[in-house]
Structure 1
Amino acid sequence: MLFDDTYKTISEPSEGFFKDRGSKFISYAFPILNDSNAKEHLTLLRELHPKAVHHCFAFRLGQDRMSYRMSDDGEPSGTAGRPILNTLYSRDITNVLIVVVRYFGGTLLGVPGLINAYKQAAEDAVNNACLISKYVFYVYELSFAYTQMNDVMRIVKEMELPVKEQIFEMECRMVVEVRSTLTERFIARCEKVEGLVLDVS
C-alpha cells in the first residue's frame, strides 16, 4: 500500500497518435507544476501546428480531483476535453497536461467517434510516457547555532531528508524537504533541539 503522500506523474514529455477516417489526432503529454506551465506548452503547440483545426486539452494538478482544467476547443461539448481528462484519472496520474491536436480529414466522426479518437490519442501519449512516483513534501528552513550541528545532522541523516541548501558558519542554516507523512515526527524531533528555529517555506 502506497502512502497518502505518493502520487504518480510522468518524468518527461511524450507523444502519441491516432487516425480515423482521414482525421489525424496528434497527442502530447507534458509534466507540469502549475497553470502557467500548461499555458506555455499550449502556446508553443499552437505555433507548431497553426493549421490544425483544434487544440483540445486537459490537465490535472495535485492529488484531489478538484484541480483540473479542460477544453473542447470548438469540438462538440464533452467530446474532447472530458475523454482526455478521464485518461488522467483512469491512469491515476497528476501534474500532467495532455494536448490533442486535430487535423480534420474531411469526414465528420460524430460524437462517439470523437470521444473515442480523443481518448485513444490521449492514451497513446500516456502509453509512451515514463510513469514515476513522487512524494508530496514540505520545505523547511532550519536555523541553528554551530554547536547544535550534530543534533541537526542526526535528524537529517536518520530521517533521510534531501538537503536543498546548507550554510555552516557561526549561525547555520539548512533547507530540507520533508515528506508530508513524516512532518509530525520531524517537528517533534526538532523541538527537542535547543535554539533550533524552524520555518516552513
Structure 2
Amino acid sequence: MELEKFIIKEGGQGEIVEKKSRFIATVLPIDTEEEALQYIEKIKKKYWDARHNCFAFVIGSNNEIQRFSDDGEPQGTAGKPILETLLNENLHNTLIVVTRYFGGTLLGTGGLVRAYGQSSKEGIRNSVIQKVCEGISFKLTVDYNSIGKIKYIMGQMGITDAQEEYGQNVVLSILMKKDEYNEFNTKVTDATGGKAVFDDEEDREYREEVKEK
C-alpha cells in the first residue's frame, strides 16, 4: 500500500525550551535544492547570534533528494532527527531549520535528539499542511437553468476548485479528487436529465487541506 503524501502549503514555526536552551524550528515549502539553501542562509542571518542553525530538507515525490546538517552539534544529534521527522510525517518538498540558543547546560546525545525532533514536530504542527491525492480536471457544460443545481451538488461534496465561464451556456472548469468523480458525474447527470456535458478529462494532482495531522 502506497504511503499518503503531504506537503506544506504555508510554513510555520515551533519552539521548545530544554534546560534553558531554546530550539526554534522554522518550516518552509521548497521546490529546489537552491531554494532550500537560500532559505537556510536567510535564517542564519536572521538568527546570527544563535549557537547552531541545523537543518534537513527533502525534495521530490519520492524524496529523491535528502540533505541534513548538524551545524556543529555532535554528529547525528540534530540534522538526522529533523530529517527523520520529515520522513515519518511523509512530508515532501519541505525544509526545516532548527535554531538553537545554548542555555549553558549540555543536554547529552539523547537530549539533543529529542529536542531537535520535538521542535521539528512543533513547527509542523503550526504549519498549514495539504494531502496530495490523485485528482481529475475536466470541463462541465450546463445551461443556465441547471447551474443552481450544480452548485448545490458541489457544495454538498465540498468541491471548491472551480472556474466559471458564462456564454451561451455555463462552462465550469473543475479540479476534484478522482475517487469522487463518478459520484459527482452521476449526481449531475441525474439533476440535469442527462443534458450536462463532461469533457477534457485529465488526471491531475489534487491537494486537500489537512485540519490536523
* TM-score bracket for the superposition, by shorter chain length: 0.5 to 0.7
Q: Which residue identity is paired with 1:32?
A: P
Whole-angstrom CA distance in 1 between matches of 2:166 and 2:144: 11
Structure 1 residues 3-38: Cα deviation after superposition (integer angstroms, max 9, x where no partner): x87859686612213345x7x443224352644775
Name the count of aligned residue pairs. Answer: 192
State the partner residue of 1:165: 163
Q: Can you give the 5+ residue segments of structure 2 that lack an aligned partner in the other structure? A: 205-213
Structure 2 vs 1, CA of residues 159 and 107 (structure 1 numbering), >3 Å: closer, same or farther?
A: closer
Whole-angstrom CA distance in 2 between matches of 1:107 and 1:125: 23
TM-score calculated relative to the size of structure 1? 0.62
Structure 1 residues 78-105: Cα deviation after superposition (integer angstroms, max 9, x where no partner): 3222211333455x36355431113456
The alignment status of 1:150 with 2:138, answered yes or no, reads no
Out of 1, 20, 24, which is 1:27 matched to? 24
Q: Over aligned residue pairs, what C-alpha RMSD do you find?
A: 4.5
State the partner residue of 1:71: 68
Structure 2 vs 1, CA of residues 85 and 126 (structure 1 numbering), >3 Å: closer, same or farther?
A: same
Structure with the higher fraction of residues in strand conformation:
2
Structure 2 vs 1, CA of residues 158 and 82 (structure 1 numbering), >3 Å: closer, same or farther?
A: same
**Aligned with 1:161: secondary structure?**
coil
Report deviation, 1:51: 3.4
State the partner residue of 2:16: 17
Q: Which residue identity is paired with 2:180?
A: L
Does the 8 A contact of 2:9 with 2:29 survive in 1?
A: no
Structure 2 vs 1, CA of residues 5 and 167 (structure 1 numbering), >3 Å: closer, same or farther?
A: farther
State the partner residue of 2:135: 138
Whole-angstrom CA distance in 2 between matches of 1:188 and 1:34: 38
Structure 2 vs 1, CA of residues 170 and 33 (structure 1 numbering), >3 Å: closer, same or farther?
A: farther
Whole-angstrom CA distance in 2 between matches of 1:139 and 1:89: 27
**Aligned with 1:78: secondary structure?**
coil
Further displaced range: 8-17 or 45-54: 8-17
Does the 8 A contact of 2:23 with 2:115 survive in 1?
A: no
**% same residue:** 22
Does the 8 A contact of 1:148 with 1:193 survive in 2?
A: no
**Aligned with 2:71: secondary structure?**
coil
Does the 8 A contact of 1:5 with 1:179 survive in 2?
A: no
State the partner residue of 2:78: 80
Whole-angstrom CA distance in 2 between matches of 1:187 and 1:31: 37
**Aligned with 2:146: secondary structure?**
helix
Out of 40, 43, 62, which is 1:42 matched to? 40
State the partner residue of 2:207: none
Map 1:110-121 to 2 at 5 A. Answer: 111-121=109-119
Q: Which residue identity is paired with 2:81?
A: P
Structure 2 vs 1, CA of residues 194 and 87 (structure 1 numbering), >3 Å: closer, same or farther?
A: closer
The alignment status of 1:94 with 2:91, answered yes or no, reads yes
